[in-house]
Chains A and B, each alone.
Chain A
Amino acid sequence: MAWIEVSDLRKVYQRDQQQIPVLDGLSLKIEEGEFVALMGPSGSGKTTLLNLIGGIDSPTSGDISVAGTNIARLSGAELARWRSNTIGYIFQLYNLMPVLTALQNVELPLLLHKMNGAERRKRATFALELVGLGDRLGHYPRQLSGGQEQRVAIARALVSDPKVLLADEPTGDLDRKSGEEVLQLLERLNTEFKKTIVMVTHDPHAAESADRMVHLDKGVLSA
């Protein structure tokens, strides 16, 4: 069985009386350790697919299996626990807590795991050093550049050693140089740390960092 397996997935949004199909019977397999780029025009359903794989949205029908767990059948609380153990999520706009330092932001996911403060700080520090921000532990997001913020977000995503990293347009809000650094970091996480990565991107250049590109159009895979 594939590490991530999506079968006959449908997602329909209800807006007033209107039903808007976003994914229409989509099936997809991603192997462990693969780096996959999801590409497609706006409205193609790539972020929706990413959210469904990450368990932050629920499908209208179909099955999603990630690392051996069929998440379509988990309750809300079970999904939350599953996310904290399995998924690391990287947002386009970083979504760091502005009132927390870089270190505190990275420590956040570890609050859900049984460990003392010293252990949390140790792991968070390691994650920040890994993304090259060992000297920015006490900085608040407003004191960091966009690229640095995204690297803090990546550190937050990987600090609990998740099985899968999901990245939604991770370079979409960055300048070319910072974007390049982020892509190199993701590649390194994939090659050195064997992380399975699914990345949504519009950018063909960014997609080149991935092992495989998957194109979506109007809710189905396209060639």
Chain B
Amino acid sequence: MLQLVLINLFRNPLRSALTLGSVLVALFLYSSLGAVLDSLQATADSGSRERLATRHAIALTNFLPYDYKDRILSIPGVKRVCTQVWFGGLIGGQRQRITQFAVDDDFWPMYTKDLQIVEWSEPQVAMSVPPDHDPHLAAYHAERTACIVGRGVMKKKGWKLGQTIHLQGTRYRGGWDMTIRGVYVKLPGGSWNEDLILFHNEYLVEKGMGGKPSTGVFKVELSDPSQSAAIATQIDAMFENSDNATKTESEQAFGAGFISMFGNVPFALRVIGLAVVFTILVISANTMVMAVRERTSEIAVLKTLGFTDGAVFGMVVAEAAILTTGGGIAGALLAKFGLQGKPLAFIPAMTITWATVLTAILIAIGLGMVSGFIPAWQASRLRIVDALRRVD
């Protein structure tokens, strides 16, 4: 029976190929849209609930005075505070898709469970490293223009340890040379991805801020994470009546809030995805209706031979399902392996989860079932004598 279904499927190869191709493209597009959502979600999920992020109450683009750091540190229960400034430089004269952050020295001990230095340069002169710092950062600490680069970026750009890279400032004008003194990887369950360049905040302050330090975000590590809500309230209360009031939330909520800056983009993407799916549903249903109509007399013959209405129904649905599932699997896998890790607009590296791939495949199977249902029902209800069109 399956052989018969397959033979029927390829009796009009061009039409089948075009339908399969349209499903493939649609499910590729759907998976790509899903990938954008996955990537945004991955960003939102990347932070820890046990750390706080303090930013300007008005907008993320407004900066906070650097001396807030000591004042936050003075709050009981705050273990460590680091700064983080988005740099936004261009690499190779093109619109960069590699995120760069200027971080101060407290960044590294705060994220020892998130990032691990796996390649490093040795310092040219012996230099002591603070006790809570990774000793492999010695060369980085010894050099103001040093940077630490994620392994993903190293692979993508083909960079080598010790190489000097050039960034063209956008927000902070001028050319910025940095020397790669270490490569990090993301530890399991850790924040961040491997597509970042991290460099000294002092370098940014000195060259880009005219020596007057300020920061976009303070990350706050707590002695007791259960106190996070109370401490967040305390931090915001401390600066409530100042020119630069703060908004403090968990690092994870901060990530989600960052995503919310894109407004209803996720909603729009879902709507577009559904529209694509609906369009393909109509196309494949039309294809199946045509295919079945062309075979009206053959279906009548099958029934004459003893094929039941159910068998005929199943064969038509199976035909549609195989067609759309084939296209769906191909489209979803093409998206998975074609886009995974690739940059797209504001997303440094696309993430396509297997859940998205599976969803796309299930949608494809569903498409086949639904698009095949009407022609299958018509075929199963077909009266043999009517189909043979002969009343004598």
Contact = CB atoms under 8 A, between A and B. Distances in A.
Contact of A22 (B300, B308, B391): B391
Interface string A175-205: 0000000000000000000000000100000
A95 B301 contact: yes
A201 to B, nearest CB: 11
Given A22-B391, A95-B297, A57 B385 contact: yes
B21 to A, nearest CB: 21
A80 B309 contact: yes
B298 interface: yes
B305 A77 contact: no
A45 B385 CA distance: 13
A57 B303 CA distance: 11
Contacts of A45: 392
Interface stretch (A2-10, A82-90, A128-136): A82-90
B373 to A, nearest CB: 19
Interface stretch (A27-35, A48-56, A65-73): A48-56
Contact of B305 (A44, A48, A99, A108): A108
B1 A111 contact: yes
Contacts of A62: none
B302 interface: yes
A54 B305 CA distance: 10
A125 interface: no
Contact of A80 (B8, B297, B307): B307
Contact of A47 (B297, B306, B310, B391): B391
A112 interface: yes
A100 B7 contact: yes
Contact of B308 (A42, A46, A76): A76
- The CB with the most chain A CB atoms within 10 A, among B11, B298, B305, B309, is that of B305
Nearest to B392: A47
A23 B300 CA distance: 23
Secondary structure at the B interface, as helix, strand, loop or mixed, is: helix
A91 interface: yes
A30 B377 CA distance: 37
B392 A46 contact: yes
Contacts of A46: 392
B156 interface: no
A144 interface: no
Contact of A112 (B298, B307, B390): B307
Given A43-B392, A56-B384, A56-B385, A83 B309 contact: no
Interface in B265-308: 297-298, 300-308
Sort chain B's interface into a size bin.
20 to 34
Interface in B300-329: 300-310
A42 B390 CA distance: 11
A83 B304 contact: yes
Interface string B1-20: 10010011001000000000
A126 to B, nearest CB: 18
Given A22-B391, A47-B392, A111-B1, A56 B308 contact: no
Contacts of B305: 83-84, 89, 108-109, 112, 156
A47 B307 CA distance: 21
Interface in B358-392: 383-385, 388, 390-392
B306 A48 contact: no
12 contacts: A45-B392, A48-B391, A57-B385, A77-B310, A80-B308, A83-B304, A84-B305, A84-B307, A85-B306, A97-B298, A109-B306, A200-B392
Given A54-B304, A85-B306, A112-B305, 18 more contacts: A46-B392, A47-B390, A51-B384, A56-B304, A76-B308, A80-B306, A81-B306, A81-B308, A83-B304, A83-B305, A83-B306, A91-B301, A95-B300, A99-B8, A99-B11, A100-B4, A100-B7, A111-B4
Interface of A: 13, 22, 42-48, 51, 54, 56-57, 76-77, 80-85, 89, 91, 95, 97-100, 104, 108-109, 111-112, 156, 168, 200
Question: Which 5 pairs, one residue from A and one from B, show the smallest C-beta to C-beta distance?
Answer: A84-B306, A47-B392, A56-B384, A80-B308, A99-B11
